[in-house]
Amino acid sequence: METKTYQVKGMHCASCASIIKKKLEKLEGVSSCNVNIATEKADIIYDFAKVGLSQMNEQILKLGYTLEGIEAPISKDETSSVKSESQAKEQKLTELEDMRQKTFFVMPIAATVFVLMMWEILSHRLVYLPTFPLSMDAFNRISFILATPVMFWIGKPFINGVVRFIKYRAANMDTLVGIGTLVAYTYSSIMLLFPEIKLLLNSPEGLYYDVTIVVIGFITLGKYLESKSKLKTGEAIEKLLGLVAKSATVLRDAIEIIIPIEQVVIGDILIVKPGQKIPVDGEISEGKSSIDESMITGESIPVDKTVGDTVIGATINKHGSFQMKATRVGGQTVLAQIINMVETAQGSKAPIERIADQVSAVFVPVVLVLSVMVFVSWVVIGSEYMALSQALSLGLISFVGILVIACPCAMGLATPTAVIVGVGKAAQNGILIKNAESLEKFQSINFVVMDKTGTITNGTPVVTDIEVVGHIDEKIVLQLLASLEKYSEHPLAQAVVEKAQIEKISLLSVSDFKAFEGKGLEGTIADTHYFAGNLKLADDLQINVDENIINKFTSQGKTPVVFATNESILAYIAIADTIKDDAKEAVSALHKLGIKVAMLTGDNKRTAKYIASKVGIDRVIAEVLPADKANEVQKLQDEGFKVAMVGDGINDAPALATADVGVAMGTGTDVAIESAGITLLGGHISKLPKAIRLARATMRVIKQNLFWAFFYNIIGIPIAAGALYPFTGIMLNPAIAGAAMAFSSVSVVTNSLLLKRYKI
């Protein structure tokens, strides 16, 4: 079994998606089919040996749908052009232009007829309104001339929907509109062309060509506006695709040549000049620069890079020139992985969407049956209380009104459009959401568990304090100590050497160097023998340490290093994993959202409590073995909390998978990122509250969309059926129902697009 994504042509509503899913899943070899109306794509899991694209198309082609194979935006093996995606967009733009032309043709007619129709209706009720300027016979004949091209040209998709329903018993939105308008047109034509039948039935003078024109006109306008809006929901992917570099300057045989990006291979030495896009992922081999990585991380401040640092394809080189070695190309690059993840997430379904799917699957058949039942009821029961001609007329209005107002477009668009916009906005802010389920779960999180190292802290030890004893200069202490430590591979030693490099202090030559495992080291510099190490080394040397300084360092979660000669201590150095600049701000923002925060770490309780107090964390879970981290998350869940786990290491993967939502730091391991539902690019913990705010806003929009979609049908269908007529004498005109139905879909998409303006 393999999963493949196909573009779907001919799909208009949630019922279309349901029909395609049912038909394809009946085929032998097809395991499952997930159709997304907003992206107009289908993810199909099937056995290539048993069924192929041609058989699947054969199953749905007769129903008006087509599957088209599409390539990934960037190939998984090599950088491919985005030709297939561009073709898909060009095809959509061509279809949109065709819809625009039809809309611009039909809307002046529909608007004029609508005004005349309302004038005729209101002139009987409002005495101050002038008498309708045309005789009803003249109005009917003009309407017939106008309605015919509208019905059979503009309304052709709806007629096709009726034909497919008769032949294959598959009904969608087009079927409902088609039956309603065709019945109104046919009834009116019979009454107009055969006056003797009209006289026999004593039919009302007014006919329903205006209903046909206005319903088709407004629904065509609605579909055009909806399609135009849906194009905007996918702008995030389009912008990401636009970031891909088109060419690269490569050094081959000591000659600079410009080649298409597709021809770059791993190991190539590339030259990147100021202002250029970095072609692919790689490592700087010569030179240094400042790089704008905002398109990946969402952070606007350029990052300084030098030899040995990694660079990301499609980011912008701001200042210096440098050479880089290509390490990842095509689908392996960070940008390609982001695009694939965002596309997958946008095409996925949130659990809340199942409600709309289940309703849509049975909605159209139920509406068809209901409309017939209402029509028959009006004719049979209504004729007991009024003339048959009046009952027939009211029954026809109800029949058409129910079919038109009940189209389930808004229901189908409610969730996927919001998910597409929400996931896209998150990606533009350096937040990757794996799927819609993670998005939905994330909005209900009320407890966040953070790993300490690499999440709250930077994950790299640095020198934080140098307490000098006596009159020796601090820089001299750092010079001597770093000269010794450069011979050690211990992380604490590296922290001292990096401190000296930052201070631009030159190092001295050392002789008689010796390391003591687990304690420290010694060496001679300019005829003086020096020692550097922990308290165990000080005990071995029988040197008395200042307990006040040691206690001060350890109470702050810092590791003390003693620097001494044979006779005395020269300085105390504190080394610690520093807290991230945005950690306190992130915890504070989470508290404002009503979320509690715990820190989970294998460190000792003293260090953990100190860091927790600095950041403002509610609960400390310290001295936890990597294997037990998932158990600690489970304990919080057992207390009734919805837990998000934030981590960056391999040992965090089980806890990330156990949590309701796992959040990986983008600087972490691939295993952690794979186990997580959400990834924060750049390792900025301040993005966590932003992600939660966006998830809550997205779910709020989804609930608003679903409420109005369901509420609209719950209220609209009974009114269209004539529920108000016995009490008020009011019937819902099908033309108004058509306008309301069309704009309900547009309002849902527009409401989703408002997420783009939401400040996170």
The answer on pLDDT for 246 being more than 80 is yes
CA atoms 120, 122, 127, 130: torsion sign: negative
The answer on pLDDT for 80 being more than 50 is no
Reported as a single tens digit per residue, the pLDDT across 561-612 is 999 998 889 999 998 888 888 899 999 999 999 999 999 887 778 878 888 9
Active site residue 451: yes
Lowest mean pLDDT among 153-167, 194-208, 674-688: 194-208
The answer on pLDDT for 172 being more than 80 is no
Count how many Cα atoms sit within 13 Å of the Cα of residue 642 in the half-sphere of its side chain.
12
Give residue for tokens 């009917």: 140
pLDDT at 322: 94
CA atoms 145, 146, 151, 153: torsion sign: positive
Spatial CB neighbours of 28, under 8 Å, sequence gap ≥ 6: 50, 51
Q: pLDDT band at 201, cuts 50/70/90?
A: low
pLDDT at 211: 81
Q: pLDDT band at 78, cuts 50/70/90?
A: very low
Higher-pLDDT residue of 754 and 490 is: 754
The answer on pLDDT for 265 being more than 80 is yes
Residue 306 carries which DSSP code? -
Measured CA to CA, the distance from residue 261 to residue 265 in angstroms comes to 9
Q: pLDDT band at 303, cuts 50/70/90?
A: confident
The answer on pLDDT for 381 being more than 70 is yes
Q: What is the pTM of this model?
A: 0.73
* Other C-beta atoms lying within 10 Å of the C-beta of residue 341: 18
Reported as a single tens digit per residue, the pLDDT across 606-642 is 878 888 998 999 999 988 877 788 899 999 999 999 9
Ramachandran sector of residue 410 (left: φ over 0; alpha: ψ -120 to 50; beta: rest): alpha
The answer on pLDDT for 493 being more than 50 is yes
- Token readout for 734 is 């099908």
Share of the chain above pLDDT 90, in %: 30
Lowest mean pLDDT among 73-82, 277-286, 663-672: 73-82
pLDDT at 653: 76
Reported as a single tens digit per residue, the pLDDT across 656-684 is 888 999 898 876 545 556 667 888 887 78
DSSP, residue by residue, 428-488 = HTTEEE--HHHHHHHTT--EEEEEIIIIIEEEEEEEEEEEE-TT--HHHHHHHHHHHHTT-
Count how many Cα atoms sit within 13 Å of the Cα of residue 370 in the half-sphere of its side chain.
20
Give residue for tokens 């981590």: 647
pLDDT at 635: 94
Q: pLDDT band at 77, cuts 50/70/90?
A: very low
Alpha-carbon distances, residue 11 vs 172, 318, 357, 660 (angstroms)? 9, 45, 15, 34
Q: Are strands 247-252 and 269-272 parallel, antiparallel or unpaired?
A: antiparallel
Mean pLDDT, range 529-536, rounded to an integer: 90
Q: Are 71 and 192 in contact (CB under 8 A)?
A: no
The answer on pLDDT for 15 being more than 80 is no
Q: Are 586 and 683 in contact (CB under 8 A)?
A: no
Measured CA to CA, the distance from residue 515 to residue 506 in angstroms comes to 22
Q: What are φ and ψ of residue 249, in 5° steps? A: -95, 115
Mean pLDDT of the chain: 84
pLDDT at 171: 79
Ramachandran sector of residue 461 (left: φ over 0; alpha: ψ -120 to 50; beta: rest): beta
Measured CA to CA, the distance from residue 31 to residue 25 in angstroms comes to 7
In sequence order, which ranges of 381-408 are alpha helices (DSSP H)? 388-405
522's enclosing H/E stretch is strand 520-525
Q: Of the residues 451, 577, 603, 660, which is catalytic? A: 451
pLDDT at 128: 74
Q: pLDDT band at 76, cuts 50/70/90?
A: very low
Q: In what order do the strands lie in the sheet with 431-433?
A: 431-433, 678-680, 661-665, 643-647, 447-451, 596-600, 619-621
Reported as a single tens digit per residue, the pLDDT across 693-722 is 999 999 999 999 888 888 877 888 898 898
Measured CA to CA, the distance from residue 142 to residue 157 in angstroms comes to 24
The answer on pLDDT for 121 being more than 90 is no
Q: For the chain, what's the residue count? A: 760
Q: pLDDT band at 151, cuts 50/70/90?
A: very high
Q: Are 589 and 686 in contact (CB under 8 A)?
A: yes
Measured CA to CA, the distance from residue 193 to residue 591 in angstroms comes to 73
The answer on pLDDT for 32 being more than 50 is yes
Measured CA to CA, the distance from residue 592 to residue 119 in angstroms comes to 56
Q: Are 302 and 292 in contact (CB under 8 A)?
A: yes
Measured CA to CA, the distance from residue 390 to residue 382 in angstroms comes to 8
